[in-house]
Structures are given as C-alpha cells and as structure tokens.
Amino acid sequence: MVKEVAESCVESVMMEMVSAYCNRFYANKPELAARRIEAIGYQVGHQLSERYTMERPRFTDHLDAIKFICKDFWSELFKKQIDNLKTNHRGTFVLQDNRFRWLTRMSIDPVPVIVTDSSQDPSSVGTTENKAEQATSMHLYFPCGLIRGALSNLGIPCAVSADMSNLPACSFVIRIKV
C-alpha cells in the first residue's frame, strides 16, 4: 500500500518551516536559518532515498545516481521528471526544472518604494527587492538538502546550490566532492 500526502499539505508545511526558521527562530541570523532548513531537507532526502532504492541494486557510477534523482526521485516528489540535465563530465551536474512546483506561487517582483524625504538613505531603496529575493531563495535550501541527502545515501558526497533567476524555473547545481 502506497502512502501519499496531499501536495498542498507538503507546500504548507514547507512554507511554515521556512517562515518559522527565518522569522522566529533565527530572525537575525539568516545563514543559520538556511543551514537548518537545508539540514532538515538533508534528513528527509536521505530517508526518502533509502525508501525509493530499497529494492534496487547499488548504482555503479555517479551518472546513474544523478539519473535516478532526475527521473525516479523527482517523479516521486513532484510528479514529473527534471526537464534538463547537463554535466561537464568532471563532477558537476546541473538539473533544470522549468516549472518547479514549490516556486510557482512565488514572485520576486519588488513592492514599489515611494521616496518622500530627500534625506532618505539612497542605499535603502533597492532593499525591498533584495529582501523579496532572499525570502524566496530561503525556500530553495530545503530541496537542495533533499538532493544532497539522497545522493549522500547513495554514497555520493556532494554540495548542492540553486539558481532561481527566472521564476518558476530553477536550476540545481550538484558538485561531487572527490
């Protein structure tokens, strides 16, 4: 019997987790919040990878494991495969999701800032966009942790980062540690 959780519940839990770590637990320390969110994703990814590979033979090379992440692992989580996989064949892989589900309802459009006082610090005008982008990027630490945890469980130590320059598209860059 397969157990499933409604997608809206997963999205709500993730949004609440990011909100709690960024606004309550580590409000003044965004790097600690990011590290903790990524660590939670790591644990979840590690456990899910264990579950999804229980009846499979071990992967013979890094590329097979990455293909598993792109096809099977991603399909289990997001009901679709990764849209594009690129590699330099030297330990760096780029996974492109053109419509990453957890970012489809987010926007980094800045709220218009109206300057009424000419003595206002000009460096504070662009901070609205930076804060919106930072808040959105906090939601990517969890899936980075998912990928890193899954690959760690498969015996592949790596570092994972994300790029969200064109929402809702997202790229995950995996660098295998040698």
Q: Among 98-102, 118-122, 131-135, whose mean pLDDT is lowest?
A: 118-122
pLDDT by residue (tens digit) across 77-93? 888 999 999 999 899 99
CA 170 to CA 102: how far, in whole Å? 10
CA 178 to CA 60: how far, in whole Å? 16
Q: Could you tell me the pLDDT band of residue 96, with boundaries at 50, 70 and 90?
A: very high
Q: Which two tokens stand for residue 44?
A: 């979840």
Q: What is the pTM of this model?
A: 0.81
- Taking 50 as the threshold, does the pLDDT of residue 116 lie above it? no
User: What pLDDT sits at residue 166?
Assistant: 82
- Taking 90 as the threshold, does the pLDDT of residue 173 lie above it? yes
Q: Which two tokens stand for residue 23?
A: 């606004």
54 three-class SS: coil
Of the CA atoms within 13 Å of residue 101, those in its CB half-sphere come to: 16
pLDDT by residue (tens digit) across 33-81? 889 989 999 999 999 999 999 988 888 899 999 999 999 999 998 889 9
User: What pLDDT sits at residue 120?
Assistant: 42
- DSSP label of 34: H
Distance of CA 31 to the CA centre of its chain: 15
Query: Per-residue pLDDT averaged across 154-170, rounded?
Result: 90
